[in-house]
Amino acid sequence: MLLLTSGTTSRPKIVPLTHANLCASAYSSIAALALRETDRCINVVPLFHGHGLNNVLLATVAAGHAAGYCLAAARTRPGTTGRLCLVAPTWRGPLPTVMGKRHAAFRHIARAGDLPAIGDLIYRLNVNPFMVRMMALGHVYRDPGALPERVMAEKLAVTRAAGARHASIRFVVGELDPMTSREEFLDAARQVTEPILVIYGADTPAKSKAEMAELAALPNVRAALLPAGKLAIHEEFAEEVADVLRAFLGGG
């Protein structure tokens, strides 16, 4: 998302905010304000303002890995998140998912990624246009049309930012995983007292889909399996996801 700043402390500018940026801000607001399921927020700030988005609109919606962090927060601070809307939730990085577990070697890969020359080489080999498109169409997007050249260029620009490789490599090898096992992932959800909604798509990669199905099967979880969509179902099928979210958040 591109946020237009007002220039309160400097010149006005356009600030790119990633999904992780928005979720981190929302979760910080939840913790700082000690929000509970009985709280109601009156938003007097327009939704093009950072506060209007982060502190009100996004406080209960999390996608992908952010969903795992949200469950962890709800487990450690019961009653602080309100209704939880988890979209294509995951709890472990791509490499541990493919391999079935986290290997000790993954930590060494992450450390190698910090090395000035070798780390940059490892990173560049894995974020070239061919690899990014192949991985995105294999796991993230269902329709090749969802990744036009303009969107592809934007994604590649993010990978080329200074220092981008450090967090990216750690995410891939599982060093940023919010949970250590499926049972911990499910147990966190079992301990949440607020209503939970899980939305995922029929085209989700098999191993990730199996984890989502286990979560969706819990008695305190409401599930919505959409007929299409992979890990970025909230991007590719935004209207369908929004319809399910509106019904859930409206008490339906």
Residue 50: phi, psi to the nearest 5? -55, -40
pLDDT recorded at residue 69: 84
Q: Report residue 10 as tokens.
A: 């400097």
pLDDT grade, residue 247 (50/70/90)?
confident
Q: How far apart are CA 239 and CA 167, in angstroms?
A: 30
**Range among 4-13, 184-193, 214-223 rated most confident:** 214-223
Q: How far apart are CA 172 and CA 138, in angstroms?
A: 15
Closest CA to 193 of 217, 216, 221, 213: 221
Mean pLDDT of the chain: 82
Check: CB of residue 4 under 8 Å from CB of residue 48.
Answer: yes
pLDDT digits (tens, 9 = 90+) for 196-214: 999 999 999 999 999 999 9
pLDDT recorded at residue 108: 92
Check: CB of residue 72 under 8 Å from CB of residue 179.
Answer: yes
Helix (H) or strand (E) holding 132: helix 129-135
pLDDT digits (tens, 9 = 90+) for 151-174: 899 888 888 888 889 988 999 999
For the ranges 15-19, 108-112, 226-230, the lowest mean pLDDT is seen at 15-19
Residue 29 has pLDDT above 70, yes or no: no
Residue 47 has pLDDT above 60, yes or no: no
Q: Report residue 30 as tokens.
A: 């939840």
Report DSSP letters for 41-75, one per residue.
----S-TTSHHHIIIIITTTEEETHHHHHHHHHHH
Q: Indicate the domain borders of the chain.
A: 2-91+178-249, 95-173
pLDDT grade, residue 57 (50/70/90)?
low
Residue 7 has pLDDT above 80, yes or no: no
The contacts of residue 79 (CB under 8 Å, 6+ apart) are: 36, 37, 193, 194
Residue 142 has pLDDT above 90, yes or no: yes
Residue 25 has pLDDT above 80, yes or no: no
pLDDT recorded at residue 55: 53
Residue 252 has pLDDT above 80, yes or no: no
- Would you say domain 2-91+178-249 falls under CATH 3.40.50.1820? yes
Q: How far apart are CA 94 and CA 109, in angstroms?
A: 14
For the ranges 69-83, 125-139, 167-181, the lowest mean pLDDT is seen at 69-83
pLDDT recorded at residue 59: 45
pLDDT recorded at residue 186: 94
Q: How far apart are CA 194 and CA 190, in angstroms?
A: 10
Q: How far apart are CA 192 and CA 12, in angstroms?
A: 41
For the chain, the distance separating the N- and C-terminal CA atoms, rounded to the nearest angstrom, is 29
Q: pTM of this prediction?
A: 0.73
Pairing label, strands 14-16, 2-4: antiparallel
A 10 A CB-CB count for 181 gives: 13
Q: Report residue 134 as tokens.
A: 């192949």
Give 16 or 157, the one with higher predicted confidence: 157
Rounded mean pLDDT, 15-24: 67
Residue 192 has pLDDT above 90, yes or no: no
